[in-house]
Chain A
Amino acid sequence: MAPNVFAVPVFFICFRECLETSIIVSVLLSFLKQTLSPVEDKSIHKRLVRQVWYGVAAGLLICLIVGGAMVGAFYTLQKNTFAGTEDIWEGVFGIIASIIITIMGAALLRVSKLQDKWRVKLSQALDKKDRDMKGSAGSRFKQWCEKYAMFLLPFITVLREGLEAVVFIGGVGLGLPATSFPLAVICGLGAGCLVGYLIYRGGNSAHLQIFLIISTCFLYLVAAGLFSRAVWFFENNTWNKVVGGDVSETGAGAGSYDIRQSVWHVNCCSPQLNGGGGWGIFNSIFGWTNSATYGSVLAYNLYWLVVIAGFFLLRFKEQNGRLPFMKAKTLTEDGDSESSPEGSVFERNVEGKRGREMTEPASSMVRELRD
């Protein structure tokens, strides 16, 4: 171990943050490659891939700026502006990211079942110009999100992970010599990107559906962990206020957690302390914490409950054209219905026509995208 040229905590922090990001980015990229590139929609493929990378770059840029400003402020002004609200930031970002991943995950899975159709709709959506200007602000925002989903998800992820990494490194790195940083950072990022690349390559060569199922499982594990962590951070923030200080300074022992909220606590294996090491990785992927609260445990289980229920509902809707306890909706000219158009259009698809006929009911297909 050569702590003067390689700071182990910094390595683990970078590895962990980069891992989460690259899982998401590589799944998206692999999915895009598989569904879009076999067909002549190379331009769509290119556009969406570019969206992903723009998202990553924009996230990186912003978090470098913000992170640099914070670290600069901390070192020059000796003011830890982030510390007081750190937990709230983590919590809010965590919930947002968790929700986005949840929705995207389902969308990806579902969409793969409608491969061909979806491809065309996507191109329609991207080409759509002023078609829906008369929609409400809410629905326009929704459509904008759909259009740039491939940008938004990587963007938010990179932003969150990057800021986390900057704050953690800022905290951990105080005692370490500056020479130990570069190698650790490069190795950490490199290791994370390597894993992402392997996922990408693995995804490309595997059967798409299996790849999607496995990667969606991982995505949901990550999202469940994120949700649980977010609740944990909110509770940690409350505890900080009760004790009146930065609790993480007391280490992982007694006093660093609220005994009244604790479901389990072990003094080792903390994903927060000193960069977290392997436990930090465990925390990123599975949401592991050495000090679980009622809130975090319930959040984790509730998340899975909602996801399970959600998938059952989705399946039900696909099979029966409606949600349980609701009537099947009738259609209007614009295809406002949520259920039938897809079924009927899909039916035509099943009858054997591919490609050409998909272009016709444009607006209803766009609606489909949201489902």
Chain B
Amino acid sequence: MALANPDGMAERPVMGINGQWPLPTLNFTKGDRVIATVHNQLGNQSTSMHLHGLFQNGTNDMDGPVGVTQCGIPPGSSFTYNFTIEQPGTYWYHSHTRGQYPDGLRGQFLVHDPDSPYIGQYDEEIAITLSDWYHDEMPGLLSHFISVANPTGAEPVPNSALMSDTQNLSVAVQPGKTYLFRMTNMGAFAGQYFWIEGHTMRVVEVDGVHTEPAETSMIYLTAAQRYSFMVTMKDNVEGNFAMVGSMDTDLFDALPDGLNTNVTGWLVYDDAADKPAPALIDAFEPFDDYTLVPQDGLEIYDHVDHSIQLDMKMDNLGDGANYAFFNDITYVEPIVPTLYSVLSTGANASNPTIYGVNTNSFVLEKGQVVEIVLNNDDAGKHPFHLHGHNFQVVWRSEENDGYWNPDNTSAIESFPRKPMRRDVVMVNPQGNFVIRFKADNPGVWLFHCHIDWHTASGLVATMIEAPLELQSSMKVPADHYQVCQDSGTPTAGNAAGNTVDVLDLTGEHKSPAPLPAGFTARGIVALVFSCLSAFIGMAVIAWYGAAPIAVRKPSVAAGKVTTN
């Protein structure tokens, strides 16, 4: 932990790596083998590391999410991630422990490709990130977010926006040159609009997928999304130009006074010249990523082997707190990380029930074309991320379109021949989307909303791909199991840790009971009792009212009264 003050407004503890914050931007080349050992020196929290966007084909145990492919790394323990990178593009790495990375444990990584189709079209690369930022630490914010005192599930509003973990960033550029910007949104919550005054952008990559160039003046990145775009500098230097990241306030429950939702940087042609404040704009007109065409020309998966429907909603449970649900089930981490359940349950690993009621588990067969239909029953935008894959976005509905109708032939006919591919896609409020991917990567892969608040409140599903194949091909290193031992977490059995009878889930982690619907026994007793009190009361009144005043003997001193 260290102290930092990136927006100049509040100093706060942050989680760094090797004594450094912001985290370093890592540069790899396609084909690199990476061996990274994480030593947890946080002191009071366990941790983990996920390299967002990497397929980890054959190395599912290096993916990072706690409770899924590994145990949390307790303070003082170490864990080694060992994998090969076969995919070029712009990515980021972050903690995958519940509600942790917004405290600073996130950074960008780039994979360079000597065979990139765009080599020679640009002069230099510029790595740049966008993020939201909170002044308070996550544990406190999270405990209030999921509590009886927050029944509407209002997410905490960020305190400011950052560009490359700072504000008023200056990027020196030279006239006439073309730069390839590689941008990641490392935020916890806020999507951001991004534009550069006086310049347009040519989008060439999203989430590690090269695309046919698309020219635009404004892009929108949800949390966790990446864009690479080329910008050609002007030939005649006319000063410096502002570039703006602006948080999407549609997501915010309230807009506190004094909140600046924008972060500004500058393309600096001339150090001596002014850095002008960005101009106000009338409306946001971002580029629609649905229209991108992947550069490799991969055609749409026409035939679907396995279609999964996920209906999402937000609702309250019996503890009064607000949770997020897929198909009426909110995600709760199992006792045994799901991957270890796969590896230790033999033939039963193909039975989704052994993974627990609250893990939203789906078993996929190797080679299947899988379709996920996501119906959004909430009035908010949500960015969904699938581990281990990128997916074809064959359809995204407009706002308020409701559920996806599989008989909607006109929509189906309009599916793009070569649909856009990426690994984080946004769904519109009260809308839906349809994505398809090939299950060619045995492993346990999470599908979840990348708003960290919603990941914590359960908007997570688990894709268990080719479990039996995993059993024969996966060999988890000893230090992974050691970390489980260090924290006292079992590593075998079903979601409840039961190795004897895997169909018996007694003792598994479950979500709080639902709210009582209507009258419970307590309520009926109270109502009946109250009615009884009223009736008895009225009887007493009637009795009193009907009884005449009694004749009494006068008391001893009565004589005094009668005299005047």
Contacts and interface: CB of A to CB of B under 8 A. Distances in A.
B533 interface: yes
A308 B535 CA distance: 11
Given A212-B545, A217-B541, A315-B544, A243 B150 contact: yes
A311 interface: yes
Contacts of A213: 541-542, 545-546
Given A301-B529, A308-B536, A114 B555 contact: no
B560 to A, nearest CB: 6
B315 interface: yes
B555 A340 contact: yes
A263 B523 contact: yes
Contacts of B148: 242, 258-260
A130 interface: no
B548 interface: yes
A220 B556 contact: no
B561 A340 contact: yes
A340 B554 CA distance: 7
Interface residues of B, number: 50
B526 interface: yes
Interface stretch (B8-16, B60-68, B425-433, B513-521): B513-521
Contacts of B556: 330
Interface stretch (B189-197, B316-324, B326-334, B440-448): B316-324
Interface in B515-564: 515-516, 518-520, 522-524, 526-527, 529-530, 533-534, 536-538, 540-552, 554-558, 560-562, 564
B549 A346 contact: yes
Contacts of B557: 330-331, 340
Contacts of B518: 264-266
Given A109-B541, A224-B537, A254 B552 contact: no
B554 A343 contact: yes
Contact of B152 (A255, A265, A311): A255
A346 B554 CA distance: 10
B151 interface: yes
A85 B546 CA distance: 43
B277 interface: no
B149 interface: yes
A250 B152 contact: yes
Contact of A109 (B319, B544, B548, B562): B544
Contacts of B522: 263-264
A305 B533 contact: yes
Contacts of B315: 254
Given A109-B544, A314-B544, A344 B534 contact: no
A347 B526 contact: no
A335 interface: yes
A209 B316 contact: no
Interface in A236-279: 242-244, 250, 254-256, 258-260, 263-266
A323 interface: no
A312 B540 contact: yes
A342 to B, nearest CB: 8
Contact of B316 (A221, A254, A308, A320): A254
A28 B93 CA distance: 78
A227 B454 CA distance: 42
A304 B536 contact: yes
A265 B515 CA distance: 10
B151 A113 contact: no
Given A243-B149, A258-B320, A347-B552, A220 B545 contact: no
A318 interface: yes
A297 B532 CA distance: 12
A264 B541 CA distance: 29
Interface in B476-519: 515-516, 518-519
A360 interface: yes
Interface string A302-339: 00110110011011001111000000101111010001
A368 B543 CA distance: 22
A319 B151 contact: no
A149 interface: no
A314 B150 CA distance: 49
Contacts of A51: none
11 contacts: A209-B545, A213-B545, A221-B534, A242-B149, A260-B320, A264-B527, A265-B518, A301-B529, A318-B549, A318-B550, A340-B557
Given A209-B545, A264-B519, 15 more contacts: A109-B541, A212-B545, A220-B538, A259-B320, A263-B526, A264-B526, A264-B527, A311-B544, A312-B540, A319-B550, A331-B558, A343-B554, A344-B562, A360-B564, A361-B561
List the 8 shortest-distance A-B pairs measured between CB atoms, nearest first: A264-B523, A255-B151, A254-B316, A304-B533, A259-B320, A213-B545, A304-B537, A343-B552
Interface of B: 148-152, 315-316, 318-320, 322, 515-516, 518-520, 522-524, 526-527, 529-530, 533-534, 536-538, 540-552, 554-558, 560-562, 564
